[in-house]
Amino acid sequence: MDAHVLDDITVVDLTTFVTGGFATLMLANQGAEVIKVERPGAGDDNRHSGPPFVDPDPDYDGPGRTADENGESPYFWTINYDKLSVEFNLKTESGLEALYDLVAEADVVIENFRPGTAERLGVGYDDLRDVNDDLVYCSISAFGETGPWSSRPGYDLLVQGTSGIMSVTGPEDGDPVKVGLPQTDLITAMWAAFGVVGALFRRERTGEGDRIELGMHDAALPWLTKQAGKAFVGEEPTRMGTKDPVLAPYQTYPTADGYLNVGCANQKLWGELCAAIGRPDLGDDDRFASNPDRVEHMDELEAELSEVFRERTTDEWVELLAEDHGLPVAPLYDVPKALDNEQTEARGVVREIEHPALGTVPVIEHPLNYENATAGFEGAPPLLGEDTEAILGELGYDAADIDALRDEGAIPDR
């Protein structure tokens, strides 16, 4: 089998929740060994995100344990496939030394403490570079390490607000709406993973490590794209429901039994759509002659097309327009249907991994398909501390050393 792109790369993950966790998840998908360093007893905050929770097999007697009394969080699974978990108390001298031993053998460290916290704990870039001088170190925070907001705490909800995303999301005449997934967490995570891979590539050429620093607010702003383009010329982007500020028709329309997304936003596609739905007169209407005309008269266009699309079911329109005429239309699915349909199944995006304590765990694979390399998750999400003793053993700790760490409170008692 072809090798993973990041085989032989070891990542020490000091993060909690989604921003850092999804960044290291992306690296794990490409073959990196990701070792989560978690707080003894509590672990990653994401372990406590629920309901829902799932009870482990009561007969399981292997390493690790459930961090939350309610069970294991499926949300945690989606951010932590194919990682290892160790519990180190970084507020003890021996726990910190164990981390240093781990970092000395690693390639990458990612942290998302509030600015200044890593340095206070002794795990800042300068601290860890002393034990590994070619380390790639990535720091993630809500608003970055400079500027008047740098000391503020932040989560996805806050950054969706400060980045302008919520101001352009929601019904035209309604309140601002949060995107229904942790968008700025995921945006930041992708930037972080991109930066880490870039720094590793540079290290291959120069032999030098690097420090990457980014804030969630900064990470979200480049994604404004067309909305930023309007703001740059003095216009104020507004909430438009499913409409688009610069393209039409490019929105959701009601059908006889659901909804249909239509993206016929150039002249060729517009003309073909008018013919296919039996309304060639719309193509001859001066209000809809060009894309700028259609954008200017978007409400009238919506009224005309909504009346047409209500005449048939979503499946009937998809068959006619997408299958028969090759036009860019698609159904609007709920999440269960998005995860379970013929296209998702054919691409093998959702599959299952066996976990000794949890049984079968569903996994969503990442979308990169290489011709000459392999990608994908090989391991289930770890129980809290599942790999503590095994990792310490690989670092040269014997049973007496591990017992001493336990006696000093550096790692939890079994």
Per-residue model confidence as pLDDT tens digits over 370-397: 999 999 999 999 999 999 999 999 999 9
Coil, strand, or helix at residue 122? coil
Residue 317: pLDDT band (50, 70, 90) is: very high
| Contacts for 203 with CB less than 8 Å, ≥ 6 apart | 134, 136, 209, 210
Surface-to-core class of residue 38, CB atoms within 10 Å of its CB (0-12 exposed, 13-18 middle, 19+ buried) = buried
Are 107 and 136 in contact by the 8 Å Cβ rule? The answer is: yes
The tokens describing 407, both together, are 């006696």
CA distance 128 to 108: 10
Active-site option among 82, 185, 210, 218: 185
pLDDT average, residue stretch 292-314: 97
pLDDT of residue 1: 55
Residue 414 is predicted with a pLDDT of 73
Q: Going by C-beta distance under 8 Å and a sequence separation of 6 or more, which residues neighbour residue 115?
A: 139, 141, 144, 145, 150, 151
Helix (H) or strand (E) holding 294: helix 291-296
Rounded distance between C-alpha atoms, residue 401 and residue 393, angstroms: 9
* Residue 388 near residue 382, CB atoms below 8 Å: no
Give the span between the Cα atoms of 99 and 156, in whole angstroms.
Answer: 29
pLDDT above 90: percentage of residues in the chain? 99
Average pLDDT estimate for 41-48: 96
C-alpha dihedral, 282 to 285 to 291 to 295, nearest 10°: -90
Query: Do 132 and 159 contact (CB within 8 A), yes or no?
Result: no
211, β-bridge pairs: 137
Confidence at residue 70, expressed as pLDDT on a 0 to 100 scale: 95
Q: Are 79 and 382 in contact (CB under 8 A)?
A: no
What pLDDT score does 48 carry?
97
Contact between 46 and 70 (Cβ < 8 Å): no
Confidence of residue 343 (pLDDT cuts 50, 70, 90): very high
Q: Is 185 a catalytic residue?
A: yes
Tokens 């809500």 label which residue? 142
DSSP state of 321: I
Q: Is the per-residue pLDDT at 259 higher than 70?
A: yes
Q: Is 401 left (phi over 0), alpha (psi -120 to 50) or beta?
A: alpha
**pLDDT score for 413:** 87
Cα within 13 Å of Cα(89), Cβ side = 15
From CA 28, how far away is CA 256, in angstroms rounded?
44
Per residue in 11-36, pLDDT (tens digit) is: 999 999 999 999 999 999 999 999 99
Return the percent helix, strand and coil in the chain, to nearest 5: 40, 15, 45
DSSP structural state of residue 319: I
Instruction: Provide φ and ψ at 335, rounded to 5°.
Output: -65, -45
Average pLDDT over residues 245-259: 97
Give the separation between CA 321 and CA 319, rounded to whole angstroms.
Answer: 6
Are 275 and 282 a contacting pair, CB within 8 Å? no
Instruction: Check residue 130 and give its pLDDT.
Output: 97
Does residue 158 have a pLDDT over 60? yes
Instruction: Please provide the distance, in angstroms rounded to a whole number, between the alpha carbons at the two ends of the chain.
Output: 38
* C-alpha closest to that of 408 among 91, 119, 99: 91
Please give the mean pLDDT across all residues of the chain.
96
pLDDT tens for each residue of 397-409 = 999 999 999 999 9
Is residue 213 pLDDT above 90, yes or no?
yes
Distance (Å, whole) CA 23 – CA 13: 9
Residue 387: strand, helix, or coil:
coil
- Strand-pair category, 83-87 with 33-38: parallel
60-113 tens-digit pLDDT: 999 999 999 999 999 999 999 999 999 999 999 999 999 999 999 999 999 999
Average confidence (pLDDT) over 355-381: 94
SS3 label, residue 390: helix
- Report the alpha-carbon distance of residue 188 to residue 191 in Å, rounded: 5
The answer, yes or no, to whether residue 152 has pLDDT greater than 90, is: yes
Report how far residue 32's alpha carbon sits from residue 26's, in angstroms, rounded to the nearest whole number: 9
